Amino acid sequence: MDEGDFVRHFLFTCALLISAAFSAGAAVDPALLALVPSGARVVSGIQLDQARSSDFGQYLLRRIDAEDQSFREFSDETGFDPRRDLNEIVFASTGGADQAESRFAIVARGSFDPVRIRAKAKSAGAVIQHYRGVDLMEDHAEHGGTAFAFLDGGIAVMGDPTTLRQIIANRNSPTSLDPTLQDEIQRVSADNEAWFATSMPGSFLASHLEHETKQPMQHAQALQSILMSSGGIHFGDLVAFSFDAKTRSPQDAVSLADVFRFGGSMIQMQRQNDPRAGIIAAAIDKMTITTNGAEVHAALSLTEKNLEEFVGVRARTADQRPR
Protein backbone atom coordinates (compact mmCIF):
# COMPACT_ATOMS: atom_id res chain seq x y z
CA MET A 1 0.00 0.00 0.00
CA ASP A 2 1.62 3.29 -1.07
CA GLU A 3 1.46 6.66 0.72
CA GLY A 4 -1.60 7.92 -1.12
CA ASP A 5 -3.46 4.63 -0.69
CA PHE A 6 -2.74 4.60 3.03
CA VAL A 7 -4.11 8.07 3.73
CA ARG A 8 -7.15 7.56 1.51
CA HIS A 9 -7.81 4.18 3.15
CA PHE A 10 -7.60 5.72 6.60
CA LEU A 11 -9.99 8.50 5.66
CA PHE A 12 -12.32 6.03 3.99
CA THR A 13 -12.49 3.70 6.95
CA CYS A 14 -13.24 6.61 9.27
CA ALA A 15 -16.16 7.60 7.04
CA LEU A 16 -17.29 4.05 6.35
CA LEU A 17 -20.08 4.07 8.92
CA ILE A 18 -21.60 7.35 7.80
CA SER A 19 -24.97 5.71 7.23
CA ALA A 20 -24.91 3.74 10.47
CA ALA A 21 -25.25 6.68 12.85
CA PHE A 22 -27.78 5.73 15.47
CA SER A 23 -27.55 6.68 19.15
CA ALA A 24 -29.88 7.86 21.84
CA GLY A 25 -30.55 11.50 20.93
CA ALA A 26 -27.55 13.39 22.23
CA ALA A 27 -26.35 16.64 20.71
CA VAL A 28 -23.00 16.91 18.97
CA ASP A 29 -19.92 16.39 21.15
CA PRO A 30 -18.83 19.94 22.15
CA ALA A 31 -15.15 18.94 22.05
CA LEU A 32 -15.46 17.89 18.40
CA LEU A 33 -17.50 20.92 17.40
CA ALA A 34 -14.93 23.20 19.07
CA LEU A 35 -12.30 21.94 16.61
CA VAL A 36 -14.33 22.79 13.49
CA PRO A 37 -12.60 25.68 11.65
CA SER A 38 -14.35 29.03 12.11
CA GLY A 39 -14.81 29.48 8.36
CA ALA A 40 -16.85 26.30 7.97
CA ARG A 41 -20.20 26.74 6.23
CA VAL A 42 -21.17 23.08 5.81
CA VAL A 43 -21.13 20.89 8.94
CA SER A 44 -22.50 17.38 9.37
CA GLY A 45 -22.26 14.78 12.09
CA ILE A 46 -22.73 11.11 12.85
CA GLN A 47 -23.13 9.54 16.28
CA LEU A 48 -22.02 5.92 16.24
CA ASP A 49 -22.06 4.73 19.84
CA GLN A 50 -25.31 2.75 19.59
CA ALA A 51 -24.95 1.62 15.97
CA ARG A 52 -24.04 -1.90 16.95
CA SER A 53 -27.34 -2.38 18.81
CA SER A 54 -29.58 -0.89 16.10
CA ASP A 55 -31.33 -3.29 13.72
CA PHE A 56 -30.61 -1.11 10.72
CA GLY A 57 -27.12 -0.41 12.01
CA GLN A 58 -26.47 -4.14 12.16
CA TYR A 59 -27.77 -4.45 8.60
CA LEU A 60 -25.33 -1.81 7.38
CA LEU A 61 -22.47 -3.34 9.32
CA ARG A 62 -23.15 -6.67 7.65
CA ARG A 63 -22.91 -4.95 4.27
CA ILE A 64 -19.34 -3.88 4.96
CA ASP A 65 -17.13 -6.35 3.17
CA ALA A 66 -14.96 -7.55 6.03
CA GLU A 67 -13.46 -10.15 3.68
CA ASP A 68 -11.85 -7.45 1.56
CA GLN A 69 -8.14 -8.20 1.77
CA SER A 70 -6.92 -4.58 1.85
CA PHE A 71 -9.43 -3.71 4.57
CA ARG A 72 -8.37 -6.74 6.61
CA GLU A 73 -4.67 -5.96 6.17
CA PHE A 74 -5.21 -2.33 7.15
CA SER A 75 -7.10 -3.34 10.29
CA ASP A 76 -4.52 -5.97 11.24
CA GLU A 77 -1.57 -3.61 10.77
CA THR A 78 -3.06 -0.58 12.54
CA GLY A 79 -5.39 -2.18 15.09
CA PHE A 80 -8.14 0.12 13.82
CA ASP A 81 -11.57 -1.17 12.78
CA PRO A 82 -14.15 1.62 12.24
CA ARG A 83 -17.01 -0.80 12.84
CA ARG A 84 -15.77 -1.23 16.39
CA ASP A 85 -13.60 1.77 17.21
CA LEU A 86 -15.47 4.93 16.13
CA ASN A 87 -17.87 6.79 18.44
CA GLU A 88 -18.68 10.04 16.64
CA ILE A 89 -17.61 11.94 13.52
CA VAL A 90 -18.04 15.59 12.55
CA PHE A 91 -17.41 16.68 8.94
CA ALA A 92 -16.86 20.34 8.03
CA SER A 93 -16.14 22.29 4.86
CA THR A 94 -15.84 25.90 3.83
CA GLY A 95 -17.87 24.99 0.74
CA GLY A 96 -15.75 26.95 -1.70
CA ALA A 97 -16.86 27.39 -5.28
CA ASP A 98 -14.08 25.08 -6.49
CA GLN A 99 -11.69 22.56 -5.01
CA ALA A 100 -8.87 25.05 -4.75
CA GLU A 101 -10.96 27.28 -2.50
CA SER A 102 -12.71 24.61 -0.45
CA ARG A 103 -11.18 23.47 2.83
CA PHE A 104 -12.36 20.46 4.79
CA ALA A 105 -11.88 18.67 8.09
CA ILE A 106 -13.04 15.38 9.59
CA VAL A 107 -12.94 15.21 13.38
CA ALA A 108 -13.54 11.82 15.02
CA ARG A 109 -13.65 10.47 18.54
CA GLY A 110 -12.84 6.82 19.02
CA SER A 111 -10.29 4.24 20.04
CA PHE A 112 -7.04 4.56 18.09
CA ASP A 113 -3.55 3.13 18.40
CA PRO A 114 -1.47 6.16 17.33
CA VAL A 115 1.86 4.31 17.58
CA ARG A 116 0.81 1.54 15.17
CA ILE A 117 -0.97 3.90 12.79
CA ARG A 118 1.99 6.30 12.78
CA ALA A 119 4.38 3.43 12.06
CA LYS A 120 2.21 2.20 9.20
CA ALA A 121 1.93 5.71 7.77
CA LYS A 122 5.70 6.13 7.89
CA SER A 123 6.33 2.76 6.23
CA ALA A 124 3.84 3.70 3.50
CA GLY A 125 5.82 6.86 2.75
CA ALA A 126 3.79 9.51 4.55
CA VAL A 127 5.72 12.61 5.59
CA ILE A 128 5.60 12.98 9.38
CA GLN A 129 6.22 16.42 10.85
CA HIS A 130 6.18 17.55 14.47
CA TYR A 131 3.94 20.61 14.52
CA ARG A 132 3.15 22.44 17.77
CA GLY A 133 3.54 19.31 19.85
CA VAL A 134 1.60 17.04 17.48
CA ASP A 135 2.81 14.53 14.90
CA LEU A 136 1.21 15.48 11.60
CA MET A 137 1.11 12.75 8.92
CA GLU A 138 0.85 14.26 5.46
CA ASP A 139 0.29 12.99 1.92
CA HIS A 140 0.87 15.28 -1.07
CA ALA A 141 -0.37 12.76 -3.62
CA GLU A 142 -3.32 14.69 -5.05
CA HIS A 143 -5.60 17.73 -4.80
CA GLY A 144 -3.19 19.67 -2.60
CA GLY A 145 -2.65 16.79 -0.18
CA THR A 146 -4.37 15.25 2.82
CA ALA A 147 -3.13 14.98 6.39
CA PHE A 148 -4.20 13.57 9.72
CA ALA A 149 -3.12 13.73 13.34
CA PHE A 150 -4.09 12.51 16.79
CA LEU A 151 -5.02 14.88 19.60
CA ASP A 152 -5.65 14.19 23.28
CA GLY A 153 -8.82 12.45 24.42
CA GLY A 154 -9.05 9.86 21.66
CA ILE A 155 -9.61 12.45 18.93
CA ALA A 156 -8.33 12.06 15.37
CA VAL A 157 -8.40 14.98 12.94
CA MET A 158 -8.10 14.75 9.17
CA GLY A 159 -8.25 17.35 6.43
CA ASP A 160 -6.27 19.38 3.96
CA PRO A 161 -2.85 20.34 5.40
CA THR A 162 -3.66 24.04 5.82
CA THR A 163 -6.87 23.39 7.73
CA LEU A 164 -5.27 20.69 9.86
CA ARG A 165 -2.49 23.04 10.93
CA GLN A 166 -5.09 25.67 11.77
CA ILE A 167 -6.97 23.16 13.95
CA ILE A 168 -3.80 22.07 15.75
CA ALA A 169 -2.68 25.65 16.36
CA ASN A 170 -6.09 26.65 17.75
CA ARG A 171 -6.98 23.41 19.53
CA ASN A 172 -7.02 25.03 22.96
CA SER A 173 -9.25 27.88 21.80
CA PRO A 174 -12.85 26.85 21.02
CA THR A 175 -14.00 27.69 17.50
CA SER A 176 -16.35 30.61 17.00
CA LEU A 177 -18.70 29.54 14.22
CA ASP A 178 -21.36 31.76 12.72
CA PRO A 179 -23.86 32.04 15.63
CA THR A 180 -26.88 31.23 13.47
CA LEU A 181 -25.19 28.16 12.01
CA GLN A 182 -24.04 27.03 15.45
CA ASP A 183 -27.59 27.34 16.83
CA GLU A 184 -28.88 25.26 13.92
CA ILE A 185 -26.20 22.63 14.52
CA GLN A 186 -27.22 22.35 18.17
CA ARG A 187 -30.90 22.03 17.25
CA VAL A 188 -30.59 19.46 14.49
CA SER A 189 -27.94 17.35 16.26
CA ALA A 190 -30.12 17.09 19.37
CA ASP A 191 -33.01 15.61 17.40
CA ASN A 192 -31.14 13.33 14.99
CA GLU A 193 -28.40 10.75 14.95
CA ALA A 194 -27.12 11.74 11.51
CA TRP A 195 -27.46 15.40 10.59
CA PHE A 196 -26.20 18.35 8.56
CA ALA A 197 -26.47 22.13 8.68
CA THR A 198 -25.24 24.66 6.15
CA SER A 199 -25.22 28.38 5.62
CA MET A 200 -24.40 27.93 1.93
CA PRO A 201 -26.95 29.69 -0.30
CA GLY A 202 -29.39 27.74 -2.43
CA SER A 203 -27.50 28.77 -5.58
CA PHE A 204 -24.67 26.51 -4.40
CA LEU A 205 -27.11 23.61 -4.03
CA ALA A 206 -28.62 24.23 -7.46
CA SER A 207 -25.17 24.41 -9.08
CA HIS A 208 -24.07 21.24 -7.30
CA LEU A 209 -27.15 19.32 -8.41
CA GLU A 210 -26.67 20.46 -12.00
CA HIS A 211 -23.06 19.30 -11.87
CA GLU A 212 -23.98 15.91 -10.41
CA THR A 213 -26.93 15.20 -12.69
CA LYS A 214 -25.43 16.87 -15.80
CA GLN A 215 -28.90 18.34 -16.31
CA PRO A 216 -30.17 21.93 -15.96
CA MET A 217 -32.29 22.44 -12.84
CA GLN A 218 -35.90 23.17 -13.84
CA HIS A 219 -36.61 24.69 -10.43
CA ALA A 220 -33.27 26.39 -9.78
CA GLN A 221 -34.95 29.70 -8.89
CA ALA A 222 -36.82 28.14 -5.97
CA LEU A 223 -33.64 26.46 -4.72
CA GLN A 224 -31.71 29.72 -5.04
CA SER A 225 -34.05 31.31 -2.51
CA ILE A 226 -32.61 29.14 0.29
CA LEU A 227 -30.51 31.08 2.80
CA MET A 228 -29.80 28.23 5.22
CA SER A 229 -30.78 24.57 5.40
CA SER A 230 -30.44 21.56 7.66
CA GLY A 231 -31.67 18.02 7.90
CA GLY A 232 -31.30 14.78 9.76
CA ILE A 233 -32.13 11.11 10.22
CA HIS A 234 -33.63 9.73 13.41
CA PHE A 235 -33.77 5.98 13.92
CA GLY A 236 -36.43 3.99 15.69
CA ASP A 237 -39.17 1.59 14.62
CA LEU A 238 -39.62 4.11 11.81
CA VAL A 239 -36.62 5.84 10.27
CA ALA A 240 -37.52 9.54 10.09
CA PHE A 241 -35.97 11.93 7.58
CA SER A 242 -36.37 15.69 7.92
CA PHE A 243 -35.30 18.77 5.98
CA ASP A 244 -35.62 22.43 6.98
CA ALA A 245 -34.86 25.52 4.93
CA LYS A 246 -34.95 29.24 5.57
CA THR A 247 -35.74 31.23 2.44
CA ARG A 248 -35.80 34.91 1.50
CA SER A 249 -39.55 35.38 1.88
CA PRO A 250 -42.86 33.61 2.57
CA GLN A 251 -43.50 33.56 -1.19
CA ASP A 252 -40.17 31.79 -1.74
CA ALA A 253 -41.07 29.27 0.97
CA VAL A 254 -44.31 28.42 -0.82
CA SER A 255 -42.46 28.01 -4.13
CA LEU A 256 -39.88 25.72 -2.53
CA ALA A 257 -42.61 23.62 -0.92
CA ASP A 258 -44.23 23.25 -4.33
CA VAL A 259 -40.91 21.99 -5.73
CA PHE A 260 -40.78 19.32 -3.03
CA ARG A 261 -44.35 18.27 -3.79
CA PHE A 262 -43.55 18.11 -7.50
CA GLY A 263 -40.52 15.93 -6.78
CA GLY A 264 -42.68 13.63 -4.68
CA SER A 265 -45.25 13.30 -7.45
CA MET A 266 -42.51 12.44 -9.95
CA ILE A 267 -41.32 9.61 -7.69
CA GLN A 268 -44.89 8.33 -7.33
CA MET A 269 -45.28 8.30 -11.11
CA GLN A 270 -42.27 5.98 -11.35
CA ARG A 271 -43.43 3.46 -8.76
CA GLN A 272 -44.35 0.88 -11.41
CA ASN A 273 -41.11 1.20 -13.40
CA ASP A 274 -38.45 1.87 -10.78
CA PRO A 275 -38.16 -0.57 -7.84
CA ARG A 276 -36.63 2.15 -5.67
CA ALA A 277 -39.60 4.43 -6.29
CA GLY A 278 -41.92 1.53 -5.54
CA ILE A 279 -40.31 0.98 -2.15
CA ILE A 280 -40.61 4.59 -0.98
CA ALA A 281 -43.87 5.50 -2.75
CA ALA A 282 -45.96 4.78 0.36
CA ALA A 283 -43.69 7.04 2.43
CA ILE A 284 -43.99 9.77 -0.20
CA ASP A 285 -47.78 9.47 0.04
CA LYS A 286 -47.53 10.37 3.74
CA MET A 287 -44.77 12.97 3.40
CA THR A 288 -45.53 16.23 5.16
CA ILE A 289 -44.48 19.59 3.73
CA THR A 290 -45.34 22.74 5.64
CA THR A 291 -44.40 26.41 5.55
CA ASN A 292 -44.17 28.92 8.37
CA GLY A 293 -43.40 32.38 7.10
CA ALA A 294 -40.15 32.10 5.16
CA GLU A 295 -39.36 28.62 6.50
CA VAL A 296 -40.08 25.21 4.97
CA HIS A 297 -40.21 21.88 6.78
CA ALA A 298 -40.42 18.49 5.03
CA ALA A 299 -40.52 15.08 6.69
CA LEU A 300 -41.11 11.46 5.77
CA SER A 301 -40.62 8.09 7.45
CA LEU A 302 -39.69 4.60 6.25
CA THR A 303 -39.82 1.30 8.07
CA GLU A 304 -36.46 -0.31 8.69
CA LYS A 305 -37.47 -3.15 6.37
CA ASN A 306 -38.29 -0.77 3.53
CA LEU A 307 -35.07 1.16 4.09
CA GLU A 308 -33.05 -2.05 3.95
CA GLU A 309 -34.80 -2.95 0.69
CA PHE A 310 -34.09 0.51 -0.74
CA VAL A 311 -30.38 0.32 0.18
CA GLY A 312 -30.14 -3.16 -1.32
CA VAL A 313 -31.78 -2.17 -4.60
CA ARG A 314 -29.67 0.98 -4.87
CA ALA A 315 -26.49 -1.03 -4.34
CA ARG A 316 -27.47 -3.59 -6.99
CA THR A 317 -28.32 -0.78 -9.42
CA ALA A 318 -24.92 0.83 -8.84
CA ASP A 319 -23.17 -2.50 -9.40
CA GLN A 320 -24.90 -2.90 -12.75
CA ARG A 321 -23.85 0.50 -14.12
CA PRO A 322 -21.21 0.47 -16.88
CA ARG A 323 -17.70 1.21 -15.64
- In the prediction, which pLDDT does 274 show? 86
In percent, the amount of the chain with pLDDT more than 90 equals 36
219 confidence band (pLDDT: 50, 70, 90) = low
* Least confident among 23-32, 136-145, 165-174: 23-32
Residue 27 has pLDDT above 80, yes or no: no
pLDDT (average), residues 105-133:
90
pLDDT of residue 211: 58
CA atoms within 13 A on the CB side of 240: 12
Mean local confidence (pLDDT), 143-170: 90
Which segment, 13-22, 60-69, 78-87, is predicted with the most confidence on average? 78-87
pLDDT tens string 276-302: 888 888 888 899 999 999 999 999 998
- pLDDT the model gives residue 3: 42
Q: Is the pLDDT of residue 155 over 90?
A: yes
Predicted confidence at residue 206, as pLDDT, reads 65
Residue 299 is predicted with a pLDDT of: 95
**How far is C-alpha 306 from the geometric centre of its chain's CA atoms?**
22
Q: Which range is most confident: 67-81, 207-221, 225-239, 281-295?
A: 281-295
pLDDT band at 314 (very low <50, low <70, confident <90, very high): low
pLDDT averaged over every residue in the chain: 80
Is 22 a residue whose pLDDT tops 50? Answer: no
